[in-house]
Amino acid sequence: MENSKALGTWLDDFKLSHPLVIAGPCSAETEEQVLEIARELKNSDVSIFRAGIWKPRTRPGGFEGVGEIGLNWLQKAKEETGLLMAVEVANAQHVKLALEHNIDVLWIGARTTVNPFAVQEIADALQNTDKIVLLKNPVNPDLSLWLGGLERLYNAGIKKLGVIHRGFSTYEKTKYRNNPEWQIAIELQSKFPDLPLICDPSHITGRRDMIQEVSQQALDLNYDGLIIETHCNPDKAWSDAPQQITPTALKQLCVDLKVRKESDDADEYNQKLAGLRTQIDELDAKLINVLAKRMKIADAIGMLKKERNVAVLQSNRWNEVLGRMILDGEEKGLSEGFWLKLFKAIHQESISHQEKVFKE
């Protein structure tokens, strides 16, 4: 994907003065429901109307979408409102039907992205299409899997590509339905800065009261757009009711969101920024030196344990250190989540160093 700059040109075609907004119900339920929501969104910042036609559920027995008939409803909505239409596709048959009904945007869901065989099947069915194709991140936090899906689509001659960040599953209990793991999306963005990056705050949060907060975070991180589940009567929605908002709420959200500038040409700003970045660079260099010294001490501990035939892992010591570090971190304004991740990584590296000593 060396020519990623070309992938961003389709977004320029919209000629928007604001981030791209994709909105609509989690699921198309009835023709009347689809048309009602589309009409409400017509005169707003929304450029693309989304609706799930096929709904892969975690367990059988739930509502799994209306199927092909929903595509006819989307055609009617497009004719009446002029909005582009988007649906999720999970296999070649879905692609075939979506293309036959002239759907403008196809997205690949998180459960599908995790399966390279399924992504390849979809890529083959979309060979050289001029449709916009958006790839959601995989369920698990695996950047390589996300990039692999993109490469399969790109190799199939699909030039209008973009990605959707919808968060990642985790066993840890957090305030999110799917933990954002912003650093993964940021790393993808750094590799392909011209690839349109869209945030899905509905699936990240699972709660309508957090949509605004996460949407703003995404814009602060220079995301290109948002995909937000919208329903005229969210509490009565047939799927994912808690995370959907009304068209009125969506319009107000778009008004309230602050779009940041990518940069500032003012000399004063650039001088201050350069100075602060220099401080960061100096501290980063010190961090590396401190961590290197710490690992040398870990080597010495490993040697001492080896001599005395003592096990590498000392759980009581680790718990003691971790508890102390969390308290120290909180006093200095560092979140527990960050501190835990950092010290777990440092501890794992220390264990690796000691294990290496044992093998020598």
* Cα four-point dihedral sign 263, 265, 268, 273: positive
Name the pLDDT band for 68 (thresholds 50, 70, 90). very high
CATH code, domain carrying 306: 1.20.59.10
CA dist., res. 108 & res. 68, Å (int): 17
- Burial environment of residue 143 by CB neighbours within 10 A (0 to 12, 13 to 18, 19 or more): middle
Between 343 and 20, name the one with better pLDDT.
Answer: 20
Select from 192, 225, 256 the last residue of a domain.
Answer: 256
Query: Mean pLDDT throughout 60-84?
Result: 94
User: 240 and 305 share a domain?
Assistant: no
| Torsions phi, psi for 222 (to 5 deg) | 70, 35
**Are 133 and 229 found together in one domain?**
yes
pLDDT in tens, 129-164: 999 999 999 999 999 999 999 999 999 999 999 999
Indicate if 238 and 280 belong to the same structural domain: no
Using a pLDDT cut of 90, give the percent of the chain over it. Answer: 67
Backbone phi, psi, residue 153, to 5°: -70, -45
- Shared domain check, 297 and 245: no
Mean pLDDT check: name the lowest of 123-137, 156-170, 317-331.
317-331
Question: Does the structure show a pLDDT above 90 at 210?
Answer: yes
- Does any domain span residue 150? yes
Q: Are residues 170 and 280 in the same domain?
A: no
Same domain for 229 and 350, yes or no, is no
Residue 229 near residue 244 (C-beta atoms within 8 A):
yes
Q: How many CB atoms lie under 10 A from the CB of residue 334?
A: 14
Residue 192's domain comprises 4-256
Separation between Cα atoms, residue 217 and residue 116, nearest integer Å: 30
Whole-angstrom distance, CA of residue 208 vs CA of residue 212: 8
pLDDT band at 1 (very low <50, low <70, confident <90, very high): low
The pairing of strands 197-199 and 161-165 is: parallel
Rounded to an integer, what distance in angstroms lies between the CA atom of residue 8 and that of residue 182?
A: 21
Is there a domain that residue 158 lies in? yes
219 and 335 in a single domain? The answer is no
CB 93 within 8 A of CB 86: no
Q: Quote the tokens at residue 339.
A: 């501190």
Among 256, 289, 324, where does a domain finish? 256
Assigned token pair, 8:
């961003």
Q: Which helix (H) or strand (E) holds 97?
A: helix 92-100
Q: Does a structural domain hold residue 24?
A: yes
Structure tokens of 282?
């100096």
For residue 75, what pLDDT is reported?
Answer: 98
Domain at 154, CATH number: 3.20.20.70
- Confidence band (pLDDT; 50, 70, 90) for 236? very high
- Residues 273, 251, single domain; the answer is no
Nearest partner of 313 among 347, 279, 283, judged by Cα: 347
> In this prediction, what percent of the chain has a pLDDT beyond 70?
98
Q: Which of 256, 284, 309 is the last residue of a domain?
A: 256
**Residue 342 domain-assigned?**
yes
Contacts of 62 (CB under 8 A, 6+ apart): 239
Give the count of domains, the chain. Answer: 2
pLDDT for 64 equals 86
| 12 within a domain of the structure (yes/no) | yes
Please name which of 246, 243, 65 lies closest in space to residue 167, comparing C-alpha atoms: 243
Least confident of 113-117, 181-185, 206-210, 315-319: 315-319
CA-CA distance, 167 to 321, in Å (whole number)? Answer: 31
Q: Examine residue 97 and state whether it is found in any structural domain, yes or no.
A: yes
Residue 261 belongs to some domain of the structure: no
- Taking a C-beta distance cutoff of 8 angstroms, is the pair 199, 227 a contact? yes
Q: What is the CB neighbour count within 10 angstroms for residue 145?
A: 17
